[in-house]
Amino acid sequence: MEEEKKEATVSEAPAEEQKVVEEPFVAKDVSISEMNENEAELEKADAEYTATNIQVLEGLEAVRKRPGMYIGTTSGPGLHHLVWEIVDNAIDEALAGYCDRVEVTINEGETITVKDNGRGIPVDIVGKTGLSGVETVYTVLHAGGKFGEGGGYKVSGGLHGVGASVVNALSEWLEVEVHKNGGIHKMRFENGGHPTGRLTQVGKCEDNGTIVTFKPDPTIFVETTTYDYDIIHDRLKQVAYLNRGITIVITDARKGAGNKSETFCYKGGIKEYVQYINHNKVPLFEEVIYCEGSEPIELASGNTSHVYAEVALQYNDGYSAAVYSFCNNVSTHEGGTHEEGFRLAMTRVVNAYARDNKFLKENEDNLTYDDIKEGLTAIISVKHPNPQFEGQTKTKLGNFEVRKILSGIVGDQLNRFLMENPKLAKTIMEKIVMAANARLAARQARDNMRRKGGLELTTLPGKLADCSSKDPSKCELYIVEGNSAGGSAKSGRDRETQAILPLRGKILNVEKAQAKRIFANAEIGNMIQAIGGGLDPEFDVSKIRYHKVVIMTDADVDGSHIRILLLTFFYRFMRALIEQGYVYIAQPPLYKVDYHGKPYYCYNDEQLETLKKQLNLKPGYPFQRYKGLGEMDDTQLWETTMDPKNRKMLRVTLDDAIAAEQIFTDLMGDNVEPRKDFIAANAKFVKNLDI
Ligand code: 1YM
């Protein structure tokens, strides 16, 4: 989740379909493949050093002027993006087959060290620049990968190939240490990439590898320079799953962190990822179905490269789908051609098998992908030499040729699996046919509701205190836990723009309930009517009546449970509402301190401690801990939680659907243990969702 007033992130580029596959990673100015040790070149190099240096520093200055263009944002995510960039280079070295261990350390003072055991960045002089390989990679924008001799290739991730020089440009200082050919070579940059000297051999060694340490520039990352262990932990774990066999170590060496360290290495790769996602669900069978293949594609230069694709999938006995796709280790939330190819193949193969084996009668309609994906957990991972990322958040894979590649690989191998495993095939088919029947029943229930006027805009629920404005962009719907808080909210609100819908008790457990029952639930019905856009798959975001749907619950376990139930509901049935950033979580204060007749509100423990210091309060000075919204009167609720001028709401994002899905399932699945864990740790919830 992110705070309400967030700065603009990546701007959108035209999403045309790219017909020509271009050479990857424009290394036009300086290609490392052109590095050589030619004597004449070396002489020339010295003369060119100064000239190059000026150009290079201008390039780095451009990054410092508009960091957003290179790393999206200079808030928390941008700060962490620096780590991903350096880790990407190490992972690329591993994918090329030269490295199997990457270590990431958060050091005291919020610096980061990334270390790998690859070949080491080249230390020789690059003919064209007169700079060493290390200096070139760390100062020339877009310098970097090429197709390695080992047959592997650079598969840059993150914001797609911006690279090491951007990290350097945005660092107060950065040091590179290369172990190569028996020597230890070092170089240091300061103030956004200014070299303090040239690459120098400082000692001898017997190993190979690269060690990079940097300190993000606090004048760029003004909002925060504090690294979040959990964010780095989660991402590195994901990278380890997506690249089988690589050992990745994360260590928190900051004071007070207790030298926390974890190691990830998954021999089974995405197969293990699927098992992990399903770990608290009940799989229909133990096996994880796995498909893999690679296809040649021609690059614009006429050279041939390969697209590599792998898919792992498993069914569980639940109703929701968890299909996650990646390209070059980057999550593609918005889907794209790899997901399309996967869907096409699944639908084609399942229908053919169902008809051939009489799970579907001749007169029955085809099974839809919606039926097929019930209870499906799948990871789709593609490695592409020249990925085209499109869509609003640049997380949609656009390369058209990938659709056919995925469809071919999954089609052939899934078909073979079903043929060879008739018993498992039967289990899958029965599950899908059941889903199809449930879908028909749900459609009927929905039609009934529609006939009764249930989904019509004209019949607003009686419990709703609507606002007077009819402009959705100005309107806010507060979904409030409990009737008494609902009462305060109704009298405290801005009637022009704020509508209140009190919720009684807990809404249905959406994870476990079947569609039919969900539509019959009164509280859910009220919400659907109030919001006004209908439900997935027909949910129409252009018809919704509020552009802010605010969940306002107590700061206790029940409140957090209700919040999760609501989020689960939106996630499953009004996903666009979350995708478009229309869902918020209100942040009521946790504490009130009365001091000299004035109330002070604190929203977390840290603020309370700060306030105690500021006001110089003696230990034992009384303060009120709000247990629920109901303890606030209408004025207090308005001032602290609803007044747009003062309130601090969190916007729910789909940023890490995997984490969200895991929380939903942990909380509501059949397995009781994770639910207990969750409730014990529920205070962390908001943080956990924000990946
Ligand atoms: C801690 C970060 O950057 N490792 C790394 C980077 C490179 C190589 C090895 C490498 C690549 C190649 C040849 C090649 C890079 N080299 C370049 C460039 N770890 C980290 N390890 N030899 C070594 O791609 O052919 C860019 S990254 F451009 F110099 F080759």
pLDDT on residue 537: 74
Task: For residue 683, name the pLDDT band (cuts at 50, 70, 90).
Answer: very low
**Dist. CA 405–CA 297, nearest whole Å:** 10
Tell me: pLDDT of 444 over 60.
yes
Q: Mutation test of ligand 1: which of 121, 171, 250 has the most ligand atoms closer than 8 Å to its C-beta?
A: 121
Q: What angle do CA 359, 364, 365 make, to 5 degrees?
A: 105
pLDDT at 291 over 50: yes
Asked if pLDDT for residue 438 goes beyond 90, the answer is no
Q: Which residues are known to be catalytic?
A: 481, 554, 556, 558
Report the C-alpha dihedral over residues 438, 440, 442, 445, rounded to 10 degrees: -140
Which residue CA neighbors atom 19 of ligand 1 most closely? 90
Which one, of 142, 86, 92, 93, lies nearest residue 114 by Cα?
86
Long-range contacts of 45-53 (CB under 8 A, 24+ apart): 45/125, 45/127, 45/129, 45/130, 45/131, 46/130, 47/130, 48/129, 48/130, 49/130, 49/131, 52/129, 52/130, 52/131, 53/195
What pLDDT shows up at residue 688? 32
CA-nearest residue for atom 2, ligand 1, is 90
Residue 397 has pLDDT above 60, yes or no: yes
Q: Which atom of ligand 1 is nearest to the CA of 115?
A: 1
Tokens read off for 421: 């495993």
Assess contact for 669 and 661: CB atoms under 8 A.
no
Task: Using the predicted structure, report yes or no on whether residue 162 has a pLDDT greater than 50.
Answer: no
Position 196 pLDDT exceeds 80: yes
Contact (CB, 8 A) for 305 and 296: yes
The secondary element (H helix, E strand) that includes residue 672 is helix 672-680
As a whole number of angstroms, the distance between CA 279 and CA 299 comes to 41
Residue 447 CB coordination number (10 Å):
11
pLDDT above 50: residue 33 = no
Q: Residue 567: pLDDT above 90? A: no
Alpha-carbon span 544 to 538, nearest angstrom = 12
Looking at residues 179-186, what average pLDDT do you find? 97
How confident is the model over 485-493, as a mean pLDDT? 91
Interatomic CA distance for residues 174 and 135, integer angstroms: 11
Q: How far is the CA of 115 from the centre of ligand 1 (A)?
A: 12
CA of 155 to the centre of ligand 1 (A): 12
pTM of the model: 0.68
Q: Are 524 and 569 in contact (CB under 8 A)?
A: yes
- Cβ-contact 167, 205 below 8 angstroms: no
Full 3-state SS string of 470-524:
CCCCCCEEEEEECHHHHHHHHHHCCCCCEEEEEECCCCCCCCCCCHHHHHHCHHH
CA–centroid distance, 272 to ligand 1, in Å, is 29
662 has a pLDDT exceeding 80: no
> For residue 446, what pLDDT is reported?
65
The tokens for 503 are: 């919720």
For residue 459, the number of C-alpha atoms closer than 13 Å in the C-beta half-sphere is 11
Which of 32, 178, 185 has most ligand 1 atoms within 8 Å of CB, for mutation? Answer: 32
The residues, ordered by sequence, that sit 6+ positions from 449 with a Cβ below 8 Å of its Cβ are: 455, 519, 525
Phi-psi region of 49 (alpha: psi -120 to 50; beta: other; left: phi over 0): alpha
If you take atom 23 of ligand 1, which residue's CA is the nearest one? 121
- Of 87-91, 197-201, 350-354, 391-395, minimum mean pLDDT range: 391-395
Rounded to 5 degrees, what angle do the CA atoms 275, 277, 283 make?
55
Q: Looking at the CA of residue 90, tell me the nearest atom of ligand 1.
A: 19
Q: Which amino acid, one-letter code, is at 484?
A: S
Query: Crossing angle, helix 270-277 and helix 229-242, to 10 degrees?
Result: 130
User: At how many degrees (to 10) do helices 270-277 and 657-668 cross?
Assistant: 40
Q: Give the mean model confidence (pLDDT) for residues 339-358.
A: 97
Rg for the chain, CA atoms, rounded: 28
Is the pLDDT score of 48 beyond 80? no
Q: Is the pLDDT of residue 576 over 50?
A: yes
Task: Look at 21 and 482; give whichever has higher pLDDT.
Answer: 482
**Ligand 1 atom with the shortest distance to the CA of 102:** 1
What pLDDT is recorded for position 663? 59
- CA dist., res. 165 & res. 63, Å (int): 9
Mean pLDDT score across all residues of the chain: 83
Task: Compute, in angstroms, the gap from residue 484 CA to the centroid of ligand 1.
Answer: 62
Residues 6+ apart with CB under 8 A from 152: 92, 95, 96, 97, 98
Contacts for 105 with CB less than 8 Å, ≥ 6 apart = 112, 113, 114, 115, 250, 251, 252, 253
Does 314 or 258 have the greater pLDDT score? Answer: 314
Distance 93 CA to ligand 1 centre (A): 6
Task: Tell me if 688 sits within 8 A of 659, measured CB to CB.
Answer: yes
Q: What separation in Å is there between the alpha carbon of 628 and the centre of ligand 1?
A: 55
Average pLDDT of 95-115? 97
Specify the pLDDT at position 149.
29
- pLDDT, position 60: 92
Q: Across residues 453-475, what is the average pLDDT? A: 80
Residue 400 Cα distances to 21, 87, 337, angstroms: 10, 28, 6
- Report the nearest atom of ligand 1 relative to the CA of 212: 1
Mean pLDDT of 597-601: 89
pLDDT score recorded for residue 571: 78
pLDDT for 141 = 78
CB under 6 Å to ligand 1: residues? 32, 86, 89-90, 93, 114, 116, 118-122, 133, 137, 144-146, 148, 210, 212
With beta carbons less than 8 A apart as the criterion, state whether 299 and 386 touch.
yes
Ligand 1 nearest-atom number relative to CA 86: 2
Residue 198's pLDDT is what?
93
Residue 625 has pLDDT above 80, yes or no: yes
